[in-house]
Structure 1
Amino acid sequence: MDDVLTLSRRREEAAPSVHHHRGTSWKEHRCGPCPRSHDVQMPKRVRVPDVMVVTERPSGKITDQVPVVVAEVLSRDTRSIDLVDKWEEYAAFGIAQYWVLDPERRTLRLLRLVDGAWEETHLLDSDNDTAVVTVGDHGSVQLDLGEILGG
């Protein structure tokens, strides 16, 4: 897996602790945080995902690459934008997976794009807090909600 994980500066502290299924972290697969956040040029606007995985390290601040995975960390200020506006825009842009972390509700919702609509593949919560997630043809990652939320 040679993908690149980029974090928006405001969300570096919320970066998920994600492990490649074989027990190595994405960071060990050149998926460490980029030194700066990157914006994604969408058809109608530029967006700054909290976390995104792209196949090549962006050369500038704005990339037109379609991310493999985009993750958003919900907050009171961004909840409606992340769950309505970005939900629709990311689907229209063809992003394969959308992960939505809700620290307040202590959930991580994993969605994949199927025929232009989001389909939930996993819901991590207090009853089911780990999952091995296949990321397209990029391999699998182990997610642990407790580690992601910091305990």
Structure 2
Amino acid sequence: MTEQPTTLSTVGRSLTWEEYQSLPQDPRAEYIDGRLVVSPSPSEQHQFIALELAWLMKGVLPVTHRVNTAWAWKPGRDEFIPDVVVYDLATASAGTGARFTGTPELVVEILSSNRGDDLVWKSAKYAAAGLPRYWIVDPRDERVTAYALLDGILTPTAVLGRGEGADLDVGVATVHVDVDTLLGPSEA
């Protein structure tokens, strides 16, 4: 009989889905390729951006859809915790209250400490899961990049920097994103 993990001492080692589920509530971790991936607590700017995007989207989404922040998405064997997720309420019942198992309209990741995970690893995983739209907000490089799934590849459809804004596709609506407002005051 294998002892079930009860702490985050499992970081970096392979574990089963059952072991992952037995971790303490809200470990701020994702389950990707059979491994526990732990992220540090997000910065104030990171949280500000996530909330700003959620408020913007809430104002344009039809009543059939919802926006949420940091809600787990399990599109198969992996489980991710996107910073912002837009989904159809009819598919929300495809999961439990703890995680969403349908396909969202949009996932947004805000880059922080491990940029490679969001830029390469998760991008490939999201494309393989059939995610139709993916945005990356990069506070360091002060950029927002929108991607759409085309022929199985998440392909850039818009790249916005400081001083720019545009209407971006959320799937069931468009939302005007102004990079200066979204990122807050420039650090320079």
- Aligned counterpart for 1:74 among listed residues 99, 111, 119: 111
Q: What stretches of structure 1 of length at least 5 have no aligned partner?
A: 1-7
What is the one-letter code of the residue matched to 2:110? V
- Aligned counterpart for 1:107 among listed residues 134, 137, 143: 143
- Aligned counterpart for 2:177 among listed residues 140, 143, 146: 143
Identity %: 26
In the alignment, the residues of structure 1 paired with residue 60 and residue 173 of structure 2 have an alpha-carbon distance, to the nearest angstrom, of 11
Q: Highest relative contact order (Cα 8 Å, sep 6+), 1 or 2?
A: 1
CA drift at 1:108: 0.3
In the alignment, the residues of structure 2 paired with residue 126 and residue 65 of structure 1 have an alpha-carbon distance, to the nearest angstrom, of 34
The structure with the larger Rg is 2
Q: How many residues align?
A: 136
Name whichever structure is richer in strand by fraction.
Answer: 1
CA drift at 1:31: 4.0
Q: Any conservation in 2 of the 1:26–1:32 contact (CA below 8 Å)? A: no
- Aligned counterpart for 1:130 among listed residues 151, 165, 178: 165
In the alignment, the residues of structure 2 paired with residue 96 and residue 28 of structure 1 have an alpha-carbon distance, to the nearest angstrom, of 18
- Aligned counterpart for 1:14 among listed residues 39, 49, 52: 49
C-alpha spacing 1:62/1:123, structure 2 compared with 1 (3 Å): same
CA drift at 1:133: 1.7
Give the CA RMSD over aligned residues: 2.6
In the alignment, the residues of structure 2 paired with residue 32 and residue 53 of structure 1 have an alpha-carbon distance, to the nearest angstrom, of 4
Q: What stretches of structure 2 of length at least 5 have no aligned partner?
A: 1-27, 29-40
Q: TM-score, normalised by structure 1?
A: 0.77
Partner-residue secondary structure (3-state), 1:87: helix
Name whichever structure is richer in helix by fraction.
Answer: 2
